[in-house]
Structure 1
Amino acid sequence: MSPARDPPYRYGVVAMRAGEASPALGFLGVAEPEEQLYRALLRDREDVDGHDPDVLARVLELGIVVRTPAGGLRPLSPKRTVERLIERQVGEFQDDLQETALHTGVVEQLSAASESPGSPDQGDPAVRQIEGLEAVRSAIDEVTFFARTENLTTNPVGVLTPESIEISRPIDLRILRRGVRMRTLMASACLQDETTLAYLRELVARGAEIRISPHPIERMIICDRAVALTPIDPHNTARGALLTREPGLVSTVVSLFERMWAASQDLPEETLPSLTEIERQILRTLYRVDKDETGARQLNMALRTYRKYVARLLTRLDADNRFQAALRARERGWI
C-alpha cells in the first residue's frame, strides 16, 4: 500500500545562504542536480558541456527540458515548468490515493455500513439500472476509478465534442497513468473530425490502443472483464444505462467487444498536412524561440503577418498556446 504523501506546504521554504540561490523545485520532485542543469540552460539557452547523462535523462523525463530539432536542449519557461511539475505531482498523488482506496476496500466498507443487516437487497445487485445522464457519468467515473488491468470502450457515434473531450480527458489520462490497458473502438465518422482525431492521437501517444470500425457497433464500457455498462436504449443513451457484474452477462459483452475489435482497423497514422513552406518555418521558430518578435525577425516578416500565421496554426493544431503548438507539430512529424 502506498503511504499518503505530505502536502506540499509541509516542506516549507529552504533558507538562502549569503545571497546564493537555494534549490527551489525540490518540493515539486526535482533533485538539486536536475535543477542546476535546468538553471544553467535557462541562463545559456544552449547545451551545457559535461552534464551527467542520468541527470539529463531525468530532466527530459520530467518534461522541463526538451530536445530541439537540431538535437540541442531547450528549457521550458519557468512558468510552464512549474505548471508541468505541479500537474505531475497532482497526478502521482491522485494515483497514490486511488491505490490506497483500492487496497483498503474503503468503498466496500462504507457500502456495507450503509445497508441494514439482514436486508434482502444487501450488496450490489447483479444488474442495476442507472437513469439520467449525470448518474451514468458518475457510474462511469466510479467503475473506471477502480479499474486495475483493462478498460474497453466503444463509441458508435465516432465524433467527440470539445465538451465531452474535457469530461473524458481526466478519466482517460488517469487510467493510462496507472498502467491500465485501454482499448477504444470508434465509429468511422471520427476520421472526418479533426478535433476527435487530435484527441484520439493524443491518447495513442500516451499508450491507448484505438481502432476504427467500418461497421455499426454497440455502445459499451467494460472494466477488468468484471463489470460492464450498456445503454438501456441504444437509440437514446440519455435514458440511462445498465450496470452488470454478473459474470455470464459480462462475458457475453466482452465476447461482443472482441468480435467488433477483430473486425476493425487500426487508427491510421497521421499524414503530413499540406503545409506551405512558410508555415513549416513558423512552426520551427515556435519550437526554438519564446517571442513572436524574435520569430518574425528571424523570418524577415512583419510581426502582424507572423501572428496571423501563428493564430491559424494554433487553431489547426487545437493548441492553447505557442509552445503547445510547437510540441504537437513536432510529435506529429510536421516539423
Structure 2
Amino acid sequence: MTGPNLEFLEAGGDVEQAYRLLLRLGGADHDALARHLGLSPDAAAARGSRVVGLGLATAQDGVLRPVPPGKAVERLVERRLARSRDALEAEVARCGIVDSLHDERAAGLAEASRVGRDGPPVQRLESLDDIQAALDEMTFFTRTENLTAQPRGVLSPHHISHSRPLDMRVLRRGVAMRSLLGRDALGDPGTMAYLWELADKGCEVRIARQPVERMIVCDRAVALTSLDPEDGSKGALLTREPGLVATLVKLYEQMWEAADPLPAPSGATQSPGARPEGVERQVLDALRTADKDEAGARDLGISVRTYRKHVASLMQRLDATNRFQVALLARERGWI
C-alpha cells in the first residue's frame, strides 16, 4: 500500500485493507467483505473479526461499522503503548531494580538509626502528592494481588479517570484484583458503571453491608491506610512491616466475607442460550482468529487469566468439549 499506512501501529496489510473498505462503504456484512476483497466467507469473517478485535470497527447483527479514523488510530496507539508498557514492566520485574533501590533506602534508614535519627517501619504521608506517588508506585509494581476497600463507596469522575489506567494495567498483568466498596456505591450510576467495567475485565467486586476500613494492600507486602478513618484528607500511613500488613490482610478478608457480590446490570443476566455480548462476544471472535490465548488476550487488552475465564464460560454454555468446538457450535446457534 502506497502513502501513509498503519504498519507502524501493527495494524497494516489485510486489516488496514478491510478497514479502509469499511470506511468507503460505511459498513458491510461478511458477504460484502468477501465479495469486495475476493475472499471466501470464512476468510472474510476472520478478517472482520480481526478488524473488530483491534477496535477499528463494531459488529452488530452481522454488520461491521467502521470506527471514526481518529478514534481508530487512538485505539491502536493505546494498544501499542500498553504492549510497550507491559514489556518494560516485565523487564523491571526481571532485573530486580526496585529491590535494589529499596535496599538503598533500607541502608539509609539503618545509617540514620545508628546516628540517632528516626527510621520508623511505618511512613506517614500527609500531602496529596505524596499519597498519590505512593499509590502509583504500589500499583505499578504489583505482581500477584491487589486489595482495595473504599468506605464511602461513591467514586468521583476525577477518581475514576485517574484510577482507570492504573486498574486496567494491573488487570492486564493477570493480577488477582478485589475491590470492596460501601453501600452508597449502589445509588451512584457513574460508580456502578465503572465497577461493572472492572468486573468485566476480571476484577472481583463486592458491596459491604457494614462499615469498612479504607485500605489498599498490594502483594500482601505493602499497605496504605488512612491516618484518620473518619477523614481521608488528613493523610495516610504506608507500611511494609510484615506483621502489620498481615493484620490488615486478615481484616480485609473478614470485611470481604461479610460483603455482598456486585449486582449485575439491569437486564444483563444471560440465559445459557442467550447471544454473548461485550467482552465475551469479542473473546468468541478472537477464538476464530488467534492461535494462542496470549495473542487473543493481547488483542482484546485483557489478561490471559480473564481471557481463559471467558473461554471456559463459553465452553460451558455451548457444552463444548474443547475450544475448537466453540466456534462451530456458536455458528450453529447463530451467534457468529
TM-score under structure 1 normalisation? 0.69
1:231 matches 2:239 = no
Equivalent residue in structure 2 for 1:87, among 62, 78, 81: 78
Equivalent residue in structure 2 for 1:109, among 78, 100, 116: 100
C-alpha displacement of 1:152: 0.4
- Residue 258 of structure 2: aligned partner: 263
1:25 matches 2:17 = no
Q: Structure 2: where are the runs of 5+ without partners?
A: 35-39, 269-336
What are the equivalent positions in structure 2 for 1:182-193 lying under 5 Å apart? 182-193=177-188
Task: Please say which of residues 137-146 and 198-207 is displaced more in the overlay.
Answer: 198-207
C-alpha displacement of 1:109: 3.1
State how far apart, in whole Å, the 2-side matches of 1:250 and 1:118 are: 21
Change (3 A) 1:121 1:204: farther
Equivalent residue in structure 2 for 1:145, among 127, 135, 140: 140
1:151-191 CA-partner distances (Å, limit 9, x unpaired): 00000001111111122122112111222121100100011
Change (3 A) 1:206 1:121: farther
Change (3 A) 1:191 1:117: closer
What are the equivalent positions in structure 2 for 1:179-328 lying under 5 Å apart? 179-272=174-267
Letter in 1 for 2:84: F
* SS state at 2:263 partner: coil
- Residue 296 of structure 1: aligned partner: none
Letter in 2 for 1:61: G
State how far apart, in whole Å, the 2-side matches of 1:117 and 1:211 are: 39
1:75-127 CA-partner distances (Å, limit 9, x unpaired): 212221101101111122222222222222223334545655961559x8532
- Residue 28 of structure 2: aligned partner: 46
Letter in 2 for 1:35: E
- Residue 77 of structure 1: aligned partner: 68
State how far apart, in whole Å, the 2-side matches of 1:23 and 1:167 are: 34
C-alpha displacement of 1:259: 1.1
State how far apart, in whole Å, the 2-side matches of 1:34 and 1:23 are: 14
Decide whether the 8 Å contact of 1:231 with 1:240 is kept in 2: yes
**Alignment: residue pair count:** 252
C-alpha displacement of 1:147: 0.2
State how far apart, in whole Å, the 2-side matches of 1:118 and 1:148 are: 27
Decide whether the 8 Å contact of 2:149 with 2:214 is kept in 1: yes
Change (3 A) 1:205 1:32: same
Change (3 A) 1:246 1:111: closer
- Residue 58 of structure 2: aligned partner: 66
* SS state at 1:119 partner: helix
Decide whether the 8 Å contact of 1:23 with 1:35 is kept in 2: no
State how far apart, in whole Å, the 2-side matches of 1:113 and 1:183 are: 32
Task: Please say which of residues 147-156 and 71-80 is displaced more in the overlay.
Answer: 71-80
C-alpha displacement of 1:226: 1.3
Letter in 2 for 1:102: A
Decide whether the 8 Å contact of 1:144 with 1:223 is kept in 2: yes
1:131 matches 2:126 = yes
1:45-68 CA-partner distances (Å, limit 9, x unpaired): 212122355443332221112211
Large movers: runs of 4+ above 6 Å: none
Indicate the structure with greater helix content.
2
- Residue 99 of structure 1: aligned partner: 90
Task: Please say which of residues 179-188 and 246-255 is displaced more in the overlay.
Answer: 246-255
Aligned-residue Cα RMSD (Å) equals 2.4
1:209-264 CA-partner distances (Å, limit 9, x unpaired): 11101111111101111111111211122222222222222121111111111111
Letter in 1 for 2:69: P
State how far apart, in whole Å, the 2-side matches of 1:151 and 1:36 are: 41
State how far apart, in whole Å, the 2-side matches of 1:150 and 1:112 are: 23
Change (3 A) 1:116 1:262: closer
* SS state at 2:143 partner: coil
* SS state at 1:128 partner: strand
